[in-house]
Structure 1
Amino acid sequence: MKDFRGTFTALITPFKNDKIDFSSLDRLLKQQLDGGINGFVVNGTTAESPTLSSSEVSELFKHIRSSVGPSVPLIVGTGSNNTAKSIEDSKKAEAMGADAILVVVPYYNKPPQRGLYEHFKAIASSVNIPTLLYNVPGRTVTSLAPETVTNLSKVKGVIGIKEATGKIDLASEIMKACGKDFVMLSGDDGTYVEFLAAGGHGVISVATHVIPKQMVQWRQWASEGQIEKARTDINKYMNLINLLFVEANPIPVKKALQLMGVIDSASMRLPLVELSPEHTESLHAEMKKVGLV
């Protein structure tokens, strides 16, 4: 099994004329690997997964695997609010060669904790590759309770969680209950350094698209006991990180990548639309301030 402790990017899907722009994707992958990124999530929320067809996900995965090689961990997002569909997509991901699956808490239908337990257990049990839970109540409304995560950590195949509440006390509670072998990845860029300080193992990030080297460096410093150095450095980028979420992700980060010349177009698939002119102006100004453009 590959190591899922590290700095991972939840990849965007570049589009041009409503088709996947593979040339822009190749530039992005090179920029990411040059920045020290350990691996990628394919078909996550940041990839605009609700608007990608099954064939596009397969095409994306094959292209990314071919570009990054066999040693780079690729995690495929397979979560939905339909357990049967998630199982089907998870089996497809395994057949494609995914190293792990990332399964989000079911959105909209608001299952109770016992329903969440059965949902994740059924999905993890359907494949022979690792499962990472994904807790992001800002998008799903329902949140995984620490005791549910603890129970799921005992299910074969469930190896860790992307914890995106930004609540460090919650993350600490999960770490304490699940033990050091349970992989703890932050899903909230703004609180990432504090997550590392609490004992977190890494991140699945949006901000890594634009500041990969810095995000990798903060984890390195944390591992060396230089957490204050990381705290000081992230403060320089906090305005930028906040601006990357000024509208729904991945609207701002696509605009940032276009401004950097990494991707050709910041276009989205409906119902998402490009970043507003006033927010683009603020983002551009902050990117200039930190030396990205």
Structure 2
Amino acid sequence: MFTGSIVALVTPMDEKGAIDRVSLKNLIEYHVISGTKAIVAVGTTGETSTLSNTEHHDMVMWTLELSDGRIPVIAGTGANSTYEAVSLTSCFNNSDVVGCLSVIPYYNRPSQTGLYQHFKAIAESSDLPQILYNVPARTGCDMLPSTVARLAEIKNIIGIKEATGNLSRVSQIQALVNNNFLLLSGDDTSALDFMRLGGQGVISVTANVAAKEMAQLCSLAADGHYLEARSLNKRLITLHQTLFCEPSPIPVKWACKTLGLIATDTMRLPMTPLTKVGRQLVRQALTDACLL
């Protein structure tokens, strides 16, 4: 359940900005049918930073309810406040989520010692499996392989979503952790190469709109069929890149709406609608990927 194509699910909203349960159900059905291995509910792609704690909890629980045991659900529980991250994680202790994904604290840019203590406190607050999430381009803070290795010694910290795009991180982390520690890409553009070097999958933005293709890509990579995987990835590469032509999740929500997966591409400020130029780019990328 923690390998292969895992979708970093968007949070569908109606025109007034409330969570749209009908569209959420549509998304879940799409991923169940398409072979997505698991859903991350309310990760950073799910706009966690603009949801209240109540909405955050509701979105995860509704995802569990609507998936009805057909696909594993991982709860995004990261925050730049350790207290808040512990609180979010703890509230899912008695739920059916299979694990938690917790992003590096953003803005306050803690030291490596601070990162270790932050994730240690989260892990100690829960028996659920914990996945670290390193994305320095968004957080302003990079968790080094040596810190990852220290955290990997904590029983319920089982892996990392590594989104630096730096492929050398795969071997650097592998050299310091045991073979059971999961390495998941957080960068669709380099995910295939990440898996070729030993990663076990990807927590994917692209999977929101190309779920079947990303599931197939990961399956081919896991079976060592890299020539076929590379051919498929070549078709998706422009899409991987274009879904970040403006701040995520602006482009991917517009793409979801364009494909009829959600009713609107509504987001909350400070996120704004995709520009006309962005719409042209994303539409062309969807066409190039044979999705339109």
Q: Do Structure 1 and Structure 2 share a fold, with TM-score over 0.5?
A: yes
Q: 5 Å matches for 1:91-102?
A: 91-102=90-101
Per the TM alignment, residue 252 of structure 1 is displaced from its structure 2 partner at its CA by 0.2
Specify the alignment match of 1:14 in structure 2.
Answer: 12
Kept in 2, the 8 Å contact 1:58–1:96? The answer is no
Secondary structure of the structure 2 residue equivalent to 1:178: coil
Which letter does structure 2 place at the counterpart of 1:274? P
Q: Deviations over 1:100-141 (max 9, x none)?
A: 111111111111111111111111011111111000001111
Kept in 1, the 8 Å contact 2:170–2:198? The answer is no
Per the TM alignment, residue 6 of structure 1 is displaced from its structure 2 partner at its CA by 2.4
**In 2, Cα distance between equivalents of 1:57 and 1:230:** 35
Specify the alignment match of 1:79 in structure 2.
Answer: 78
Structure 1 window deviating more from structure 2 (65-74 vs 259-268): it is: 65-74
Specify the alignment match of 2:236 in structure 1.
Answer: 237
Secondary structure of the structure 2 residue equivalent to 1:213: helix
Instruction: Give unpaired runs (5+ residues) of structure 2.
Output: none
Secondary structure of the structure 2 residue equivalent to 1:41: strand
Secondary structure of the structure 1 residue equivalent to 2:7: strand
Specify the alignment match of 2:249 in structure 1.
Answer: 250
Specify the alignment match of 1:209 in structure 2.
Answer: 208
Q: Deviations over 1:255-291 (max 9, x none)?
A: 0011111111011100001110111012112222332
Specify the alignment match of 2:45 in structure 1.
Answer: 46
**In 2, Cα distance between equivalents of 1:132 and 1:82:** 17
Kept in 2, the 8 Å contact 1:190–1:241? The answer is yes
1:166 aligns with 2:165: yes
Q: Deviations over 1:161-215 (max 9, x none)?
A: 0011111111221122212200111100000100110011111110001111111
Per the TM alignment, residue 230 of structure 1 is displaced from its structure 2 partner at its CA by 1.0
**In 1, Cα distance between equivalents of 2:72 and 2:84:** 24
Cα RMSD (Å) of the superposition?
1.2
Specify the alignment match of 2:291 in structure 1.
Answer: 292
Which letter does structure 2 place at the counterpart of 1:201? Q
**In 2, Cα distance between equivalents of 1:290 and 1:85:** 39
Kept in 2, the 8 Å contact 1:125–1:156? The answer is no
Structure 1 window deviating more from structure 2 (143-152 vs 230-239): it is: 230-239
Equivalenced residue count is 291
Q: 5 Å matches for 1:271-282?
A: 271-282=270-281
Per the TM alignment, residue 153 of structure 1 is displaced from its structure 2 partner at its CA by 0.3
1:132 aligns with 2:134: no
Kept in 2, the 8 Å contact 1:40–1:74? The answer is yes
Specify the alignment match of 1:30 in structure 2.
Answer: 29
Which letter does structure 2 place at the counterpart of 1:4? F
Per the TM alignment, residue 71 of structure 1 is displaced from its structure 2 partner at its CA by 5.1
TM-score (normalizing by structure 2): 0.96
**In 1, Cα distance between equivalents of 2:100 and 2:222:** 26
Instruction: Give unpaired runs (5+ residues) of structure 1.
Output: none
1:106 aligns with 2:108: no
Kept in 1, the 8 Å contact 2:64–2:97? The answer is no
**In 2, Cα distance between equivalents of 1:211 and 1:132:** 24
Specify the alignment match of 1:178 in structure 2.
Answer: 177
TM-score (normalizing by structure 1): 0.96
Specify the alignment match of 2:258 in structure 1.
Answer: 259
Specify the alignment match of 2:218 in structure 1.
Answer: 219
**In 2, Cα distance between equivalents of 1:57 and 1:108:** 21
Specify the alignment match of 1:59 in structure 2.
Answer: 58
Secondary structure of the structure 1 residue equivalent to 2:94: helix
